[in-house]
Every structure is written in C-alpha cells, then in structure tokens.
Amino acid sequence: MNTHPQEFVSELKTAGRTPAPKLKAIRFELKCGAILLVDQRPGASVTAIKLHLKGGHSLDPVGLEGLASLTGSLLDQGTKHRTEEDIAELLEPKGGGLRGEANGVSGSIAGDAWKKLAELISEVVCEPSFPKDKFARQKGRLLDRLLIERDEPRAQAGRLFRKLIYGEHWMGRPTHGSFETVQKIERKHVVAFHAKNWCPTRAVIAVCGDVDPETACRFFDRKLQNWKPKKKLARPDVVFPERGQRCDAFFANRQQVHVYLGHLGITRDNPHYAALVVMDHILGTGPGFSNRISQKLRDEQGLAYTVHADVHSTAGVFPGMFTAYIGTSPEHIERATKGFLREMKRIRTELVDTSELELAQNYLLGSYALGFERAARRANFMISAERFGLPPDYLQSLPDRFAAVTAENVRAAAKACLHPEQPCFVVAGPVKKREVEALFSKLMGRRAAK
C-alpha cells in the first residue's frame, strides 16, 4: 500500500485507532527506599538507566547558587574505588557512558552490559570521592561558561525573563548559578551538599532495555544496600508573582536583538494539556515552519530565522512558562512583538482551520510513537510519570486524546492558558532599558512614564 504517512494517520483516526508507544513500567520500592521502574524490551540493543533525585538546584544555599549543578557534574569524576579513567575504561568498550547533573545521573550501554552500568551508577551516587584536581577543573569549566554567558545577550535575556515570571522563587534562579556565586563554592561545600541531599528516599531509578525486572530489583537492592535513607523531601510552598505586565532589558552592543514575551504557564496535570500540545504546534512549534508564528514572522515578513512559541514543554510539577522568542534586528522589535500578541489573541478568539488542526494532529500522531523508540526517552518518561502521578495507561492514551482535540478545544485551551494582556517582556541587544519600557507601554496601551 502506497498510502502517504499523513493519510495513513488519518485512516487510523477514522478507524478509531492511533499509533501509540507501548511501555509497561514494573514498579518496585527498593530496600533503601528508592523507587525502581523497569521497562523490559526483549532484544533491545541498548539499555538506558536514569536516576532522578528530587530537589536539584532548588536546594542551593543562598549565595552558593550552582552548588547542586557542580556537585552532580563531579559524580562521574571518581569514586572511593575508581578514578574517572577507570570508569571510562569499563564503559567505552561497550559503547557506554554516564553523566551527572543537578537532578541525578544517567547513562546508556550495550544491552548485555547493563549490570556494569548499573553498578557504576550505584557507585558514583553512593561513594563519590570528589577529587581535588577534578573539582578545580569542573569549577573552572563552569566559571568559563558563566563568564561567557555574562556578556551573551540571549543567555541574559533568558535569565531576566525567568526572573520576571518567577520572582525570588528558586525557579527564577539560573540552574548553574552565576559567576559570582560559583566563585565562592569550595570542595567542602560539595562534599557537605552531597552528604545532606543525595539520599535514596528522594530517588527514582528508571531502567529501559532487555532487562528482567526482578533481576534488576535484586541487583539494585544489593548495590545500594549501604545508601542510607534520610527524611523525604517535603513539597515546598509555591508562591509566584501574580501575572502582570513587567519588562526588562539587557544592553549589548550587538547586531541582533533577542526578544522574549510570555507569562507563567501550566502544570503537567492541566486538564487542557492535550489540546495545548496541539495548540502549540499550530501556534509556534509545528513541523518545519508550518506554524502560524513561523509563517507570519519568518516566511511572510522575513523578520527572523529563529522564532518559536510554546507553553506545554516546560509544564511540570510546578507551572512552566509560556515563552515566545525571536532573534531579529533592532528595527523589527515592535513589529515582531505585535505579531506575537496578535497571534496569541487570534487563537484565543477564532477557531483554527480544519487544515491547520489536521496538520498538527497528523504530525503528532505520526511522530509520537517513533520518539519512544529510544531507550533514553522511555526512561525519561517513566521518571516523569512517577513524578507527575500519571496513570499507567497515560502514554498509550495520549495519542487518542491528541486525535480527539477539536477546534473548539484548542480555542478553549488558549483562552484559559494564554494571557496576552499580562505578559512579561525582555529585550537584549543594542537597545536601552528606557526604550524598551516606552515600547512596552505602547504595546500594552499605556502611557509611558516620564
């Protein structure tokens, strides 16, 4: 049959069937208190393992922001039993690797060597040595990165944008800290942070590959038997600034400006989630440049190459952000921003065309299952499902919900979750703050302050 992929998806929708990934996670609570999730895939050539630790950079002490990130990056740099080179020599012959970050450790390896990866992840989590020379090297690398970002307009615009949306909440702080805060971090801070916060009662482990679940449970029970439980991390009180009109600017003598427009977003359990995914693909993240914002601002008006908008991708336990971004020329700031606001308002009030809706749905349904062929993607989903409390059939049922979204659903979701009248607005580039403030007042229909 020579059916076009989009036509094939439409046939499945008509028949009441949509392509869906199949993932069945077997859940265990290990003796140490960690949660283990195993997705057994017979014959899989690669095994992915991800250990997620609750807390991350939300636990950074004030004045030492970046500590969680630096601690995580040092986990694979040596343990009490092996050097960084020893770890690499064990993994590389099997095409393996692992890396640590603020929220945990992840890695992959040839399927028949999964126990070696599991053993090393257990070891770097429980017994990191934080060698002095490796600490100095990793800290130096991070400082170099932050020094570059300090003068990089897009990076600074992104930081200011988060700050406007989240205020003093930890979600408004950069994950990697600042040049000034990282400078203050000493090795003793890393050792103490790990000892205090890396504990099994805050951990979720996901394994995806040709792995027997019961075998994996026994293996991790043995390897993590000395990982000492501690008090579970309580869900913190969440207080964000109310949505409202706020703006800021970062001056940089460059040719291009970076413009961010948006507001506080949604949590993963938002009842409009499926409709918002479809909406995003119509509005600002669709395949190629078929979405409205790319068509209008890039193709028709030639304002930029890089432009996008979406609300669903950052949704989590806490609200994410609706973010519209464009890199453009200074003379096009007003025109581009008006384009964002116009399309946000239009999708809230007008029904989307049938052709737009079908294109977004066809793309989602045709690509969704394929995305879960990768073991790492499946491991990430298992972690997310555990964190967000998603039902067991969520992954299989989501494509059906994408297919069931109507134009009315898209409009209702946009009306409930997009707020063009209360945006945060940031511009970085060769534009002064008072100019940005004056433009923002004009865009919002207010008189500029004298």
And the tokens for 172? 């408004």
DSSP tag of 146: H
Distance between CA atoms of 110 and 242, rounded to whole angstroms? 49
**Residue type (1 letter), 398:** L
Q: What is the pLDDT of residue 288?
A: 65
- List all residues 6 or more positions away from 87 whose beta carbon is below 8 Å from its beta carbon: 76, 78, 79, 98, 120, 124
Q: What is the pLDDT of residue 289?
A: 64
> Among the residues of 228-353, which ranges form H helices?
273-283, 292-293, 333-349
Q: What is the pLDDT of residue 13?
A: 47
The verdict on pTM exceeding 0.75 is: yes
- List all residues 6 or more positions away from 70 whose beta carbon is below 8 Å from its beta carbon: 138, 139, 142, 177, 182, 185, 190
**Sheet holding 307-310: strands in order across?**
246-251, 424-429, 257-264, 321-328, 307-310
And the tokens for 217? 């449970």
Q: What is the pLDDT of residue 3?
A: 35
Query: How many whole angstroms from its chain centre is CA 309?
Result: 15
- List all residues 6 or more positions away from 110 whose beta carbon is below 8 Å from its beta carbon: 45, 46, 47, 94, 95, 96
Residues of the chain with pLDDT under 50: 1-16, 448-450
95: nearest Cα among 107, 105, 78? 107
Q: What is the pLDDT of residue 447?
A: 56
283: nearest Cα among 371, 368, 366, 350? 350
- List all residues 6 or more positions away from 160 whose beta carbon is below 8 Å from its beta carbon: 248, 249, 250, 260, 426, 428
257: nearest Cα among 333, 323, 322, 324? 333
Domains of the chain, start order: 25-223 (3.30.830.10), 246-443 (3.30.830.10)
Distance between CA atoms of 395 and 20, rounded to whole angstroms? 7
